[in-house]
Amino acid sequence: MAIFLRASAFFVLALFTFNPSIGQTSVFSLAYDEQQPIIAAEGGELYFTLAYHPQNKGGLEDSGDVWFAQEGKRGFSAPVPVQALSTEHYDLLIGFRQPNEVLVYHANLNNQQVIQSYIKEPLGWKKGEAISIPGLKIEGDHFSASLDSSGQIMIMAMDSYGSYGNEDIYMSQYNGTSWTRPVNIGGDINTAKQELSPRLSSTGDSLYFASNAYETQKGIEVYASKRLDNTWRNWSPPVLLKLSQMQGVEMYYSQDLKNNRAFFTNTQTSEGFGNIYMLENLDFKTIPVPALAEKSFESRARNDLNDRIDKLAPKANPITEAGTQVLSNLQKESKVQINMAEKLDSLAIGEQLILENVLFKKGTVDLSDSSSLLVLDELATFMVVHPEKKISIEGHTDSYGNANVNMRLSLARADKIKELLVQRGVEATNLQTRGWGGKKPIATNSNEAGRKRNRRVEIKLIAND
């Protein structure tokens, strides 16, 4: 199982544990890397990705082909490769869009990262349409994803735009005609370390994922969290699911409610390779889910802030004077998010809102500090939840200097804000930009305090369809 652990800031979170009352059964115990077990929507086949097997299309160097095994009265048959769903590079069956249609991720199909639809026909799998997800950009060495039970929501783990450090979890939704831009699900789940192998419960309100962000003996284990609202950015504290007493990394947890069982992978019995295990006779009603205690807007702001502390805190030790100062500054900056959603929601068509804490370094389009990012996170979350709203992002400068230069700079800053919002999942078509230079001051330009107020970014609601 190719997981790359990287150095990053560390923090500890208290967790509950769940211990299954029965042991786990190894499904195949192959001497190769078994990943992403998924039970077919109909038919009882178990699909998974198998790496470095000589029967893979790319042979022993192939980092993953799609395989499957048929289930019978005596268990699963010997697995066989599914050539039609595989390439010579890494392939991952994401899930069933409908009973006879699957989505497969290909790391290198025609020199591109592709998510491809396949239709099951009497003679086998036939290639369907390529799935276009706007803004999908996968950095780093890991990609995992799954579909919810409806086939309309895709949960992805990847290093991409807006990541808090390494791999984060993102969400994309099919709206009837197309898939939405991936949205980072936020700092309640994502950290400066790795969040991997995400999967939603059958009801779509619980998330299971693997992470190495917490101090556990295995390093990477599986956690559960409850979605608290429809924003996809508000989650209950992660709960550790103690799936087994085995050592080794655990990932790719997947429930099969129809048969009261679950699957996961563990690396104990192989040198870094995962084997698929099955937990049987489970009573899912007895498995604790995270508490549904409602969190205040301020606490969510603090959660996002804590993740930014992990990423942005000084390379010096946080207990040093320098570290303490940065922590203090960031805590002050977190206050800028409070009531942001309320202000945005109350805007009428044509009304404007100054983004008070979005500040730029003098003469550049570079944001001056982390408080600007906190504001943009909240603005992006609001825009994703309210796709019917369209806004104009309007840049302003003071009146000092060349008027034409100021005009170009103010527009460039507005364009920069748009770019950062799009990276955070906002549809580009919902954002317009304008630059006014120093033409619309809101304070005097005769002193620095007034000029600072004039150097601002505003948003104006232009549609609410």
Q: Is 282 in the same domain as 343?
A: no
Whether 92 is in a domain gets the answer yes
Q: Is 267 in the same domain as 361?
A: no
Q: Report in angstroms the alpha-carbon separations of 13 from 24, 199, 265.
A: 27, 21, 24
**Both structure tokens of 36:** 């992403």
Q: Is 79 in the same domain as 190?
A: yes
Number of domains comprising the chain: 2
For 216-231, what is each residue's pLDDT tens digit? 778 899 999 999 988 8
Q: Is 325 exposed, middle or buried (0-12, 13-18, 19+ CB in 10 A)?
A: exposed
Whether 298 is in a domain gets the answer no
Tens digits of pLDDT across the chain (465 residues): 544 333 222 222 333 334 444 568 899 978 899 999 999 977 789 999 999 999 999 999 999 999 999 998 888 999 999 999 999 999 999 999 999 999 999 999 888 899 999 999 999 999 999 999 988 888 878 899 999 999 999 999 999 887 887 899 999 999 888 999 999 999 899 988 899 999 998 888 899 999 998 877 788 999 999 999 888 989 999 999 989 989 889 999 999 988 889 999 998 876 668 999 999 888 766 554 544 334 433 344 444 444 443 443 333 333 333 333 433 443 444 344 446 777 888 888 999 999 888 888 777 888 877 678 888 888 988 898 889 999 999 999 888 878 888 888 899 899 999 988 998 889 999 999 999 998 888 888 888 888 888 888 999 999 887
Q: What is the CA radius of gyration of the chain?
A: 24
User: What is the DSSP-derived secondary structure letter of residue 35?
Assistant: E
State which H helix or E strand residue 431 sits in. Answer: strand 431-435
Q: Is 406 in the same domain as 266?
A: no
Whether 141 is in a domain gets the answer yes
Q: Is 208 in the same domain as 353?
A: no
Q: Which of these three, 254, 286, 318, is where a domain ends?
A: 286
Q: Is 64 in the same domain as 127?
A: yes
**Strand 139-147, strand 153-159: pairing:** antiparallel
Whether 318 is in a domain gets the answer no
Range(s) of the domain holding residue 395: 339-464
What is the rounded distance in angstroms from the CA atom of residue 184 to the CA atom of residue 424? 7
Q: Is 110 in the same domain as 244?
A: yes
For 291-347, what is each residue's pLDDT tens digit? 433 443 334 444 444 444 344 333 333 333 333 343 344 344 434 444 677 788 888
Q: What is the CATH number of the domain that holds 23?
A: 2.115.10.20
Residue 93 pairs in a beta bridge with 104
Whether 88 is in a domain gets the answer yes
Q: Is 235 in the same domain as 367?
A: no
Whether 281 is in a domain gets the answer yes
Nearest in space to 70 (alpha carbons), one of 32, 40, 100 = 40
Q: Is 251 in the same domain as 348?
A: no
Q: What is the CATH number of the domain that holds 442?
A: 3.30.1330.60
Query: Under a CB-based contact definition with an 8 Å cutoff, are residues 50 and 80 in contact?
Result: no
Whether 306 is in a domain gets the answer no
Chain-centroid distance of CA 165 in Å reads 12
Q: Is 211 in the same domain as 149?
A: yes
